[in-house]
Every structure is written in C-alpha cells, then in structure tokens.
Structure 1
Amino acid sequence: MDRIDRAGRTIAAPPAAVYGALLDPRALEAWLPPEGMRGRIERWDPRPGGGFRMILTYPDAAGGPGKTTADTDVVDVGFAELVPGERVVQEAVFEADDPAYAGTMTMTWHLTAAGPGTDVTVTATGVPAGIDQAVHEEAIASSLANLAAHVEATG
C-alpha cells in the first residue's frame, strides 16, 4: 500500500483567504516552515507549471538534521494544479545527496467551506522513505497551525 501522510485543521477564515495565503510568497515564508524552522523563498512563479524554491533552515541544527546540509532543507516545489478557493497541488523535490530523500512528493491542500471558516486537509503521497511518517504528519500539523494563526490574524 502506498503511504499517505495527512493532517487537517479548521481555520476561522473563508476559503479565499486561505487560498490567498497558499499563493503569497511572504505569507508562505511566515507560516509554511514547521516549528523549529525558518523559511526563505528564492524563486516564485504562481501558476500551474510554475512554482517556487524554498530554503528551510534549522536555527538549531541539533534539533533536526537537514536534508541538503546539516542545517538546511532546500526544496523545489512545482504547482501541478491551482483551483482558486478549493485546492493547491504541489510537487516537491528535496535537494539531497542521500537517496532516502529522492523522488517527488505530492502535497495536496484541500479547502472546503465550513460555515464561516475553512476545513483544510493536507495529503502527501510519494513521501521519500527517509522522512518518518509521524514526524512528517506532526510537521504538516505545525504548518497548519501556523497557517491558521497567520490567516486569522490578517483576516
């Protein structure tokens, strides 16, 4: 059976606001890195077939070994599908010498109106074998908590 990592959260903001935060480079830098990391976007092309390159840095390298260097994860993300207010499909490739991190991971962000808010569910398939499932799901949940805090504070 193919592995599927997932996490979800209800965010007190409409789908359009959540979708906007998925396609704003400064917003992504603020909320996408999970707890214990910082992010910086180097390239940005928000269209199907476009994407971005993000440098994720561990301020304390002992807290989590990087995939690219001792304290960084570099990931190239392509936008496979963009459906305003409903879905963002990303294809992520980590820059790493270790084959345990090779391959393309697909992250699908599903947005569903839930009263005045949005149910956000993230599913990840093709997750590299070197990424522990429980740790990955915790990281996705952390990013969702950051997204909620960001969107709810700005909305």
Structure 2
Amino acid sequence: MPQTTKNSRIIHATIEKVFEAFSNAKALEAWLAPNDMVGKVHNFNFRAGGGYTMSLFYPESEVNVKGKTAGKEDKFSSRYIEIIPNKKIVEAVNFETNEADFAGEMIMEVTFALHQDGTEVTFHFKNIPRGIKPEDNEAGTISTLEKLAAFVE
C-alpha cells in the first residue's frame, strides 16, 4: 500500500505572499529544506510542465546520516503537474538515487486556503518511497512549514 502523509499549518500572511514563496527559487532555498538542512536550487521553471532540481544538504555535524544521492546530499527533480495561483501546486518528485527504496515518483500537493488568521497551507504527499518512513516525512514537513512561516510572516 502506498505511503501518504498530510500536514497543515496556519501561516500569518496573505495567500498571495505565501504562494509567492513557492514561485521563487531563492525563496525555496531559504525555507524548503527541513531542520538544519541547507537547500540549493540548480534550475527553476515555475509553470505547469516545468520544474526544478534541488539539493538538500545535511549538516556536517550529523555524523550518522547518509544522503539519498551521495554523501550528505538528497538531490531531487520536481516536475510541476498543476499550478493554480494562490490555490494549489501539484509536483511529481523523484530523488536522484541508486537505492531502490528511495526510487519512484512521489506526488506532493500543496493547497492554500483563506483562514481568519492568514493562510492555511497543507502538504499532502502520496506514493512516498518505501525507504522514507512516513513519520520522518511528517517531521520534515512540520519543520518546513515552520521555516515557511518564519520566512513570510
């Protein structure tokens, strides 16, 4: 059975401002990498059918961590399936890896909804590769949502 997770957070900013943080490569570098990871966008084309390639780097201080791609790096490509401004972004995500447990296309759907305190942002992951524990994906998503809030609020 495919693995899925779903996490939401109220961001104290307008939908437009939150959506803009998804449509800019430099913004993604600032907030998308969870926890103490650092992000680097290699290319970026924000349109349906376009996409981006990004590396997430684990901190050197994490000695027991091995990246999905190499060393302390998780590199992935993302293809935009659907973009509805200020409402929804759907991406197909593929890790660059030689490990079968991390291979396969994962779907990330992000929705934006008006909330009395700002914007409710929901990340829904489908077809999470079997090598990624759903609880680890959820923890990473919660961290990412915290960083997004700090970035736009």
* Number of residue pairs the alignment of both structures matches: 152
Q: Which amino acid aligns with 1:68?
A: T
- Asked if 2 retains the 8 angstrom alpha-carbon contact of 1:34 and 1:140, the reply is yes
Identity %: 34
The Cα shift of 1:70 comes to: 2.0
What amino acid sits opposite 1:64 in the alignment? V
Matched position secondary structure for 1:30: helix
- Contact 2:3–2:130 (CA under 8 A) maintained in structure 1: no
CA distance in 1, matches of 2:96, 2:55: 10
Deviations 1:32-89 (A, max 9, x none): 0001210000011110000000011112252532000120001001111111110111
Which residue pairs with 1:41 in the alignment? 41
Query: Would you say 1:2 and 2:2 are equivalent positions?
Result: yes
In structure 1, C-alpha distance between the alignment counterparts of 2:129 and 2:50, rounded to whole Å: 22
- Residue 16 of structure 1 corresponds to 16
1:107: how far off?
0.4
Once the two structures are superposed, the pairs formed by residues 67-82 of structure 1 within 5 Å of their partners are 67-82=68-83
1:56 counterpart residue number: 56
Cα offset, 1:138, TM superposition: 0.3
Query: Would the aligned equivalents of 1:14 and 1:116 in 2 still touch at CA under 8 Å?
Result: no
Q: Which amino acid aligns with 1:34?
A: P
CA contact (8 A) 2:3 2:129 kept: no
Instruction: Give how far 1:115 is off.
Output: 1.9
Corresponding residue for 2:151?
Answer: 150
Runs of 4+ in 1 over 6 A off after TM superposition: none
User: What root-mean-square deviation, in Å, do the aligned CA atoms of Structure 1 and Structure 2 show?
Assistant: 1.1
Contiguous gaps of at least 5 residues in structure 2: none
- TM-score, structure 1 length as denominator? 0.94
Residue type at the aligned position of 1:126: N
| Per-residue deviation, 1:31 | 0.2
Specify every segment of 5 or more residues in structure 1 that has no aligned partner in the other structure, as ranges: none
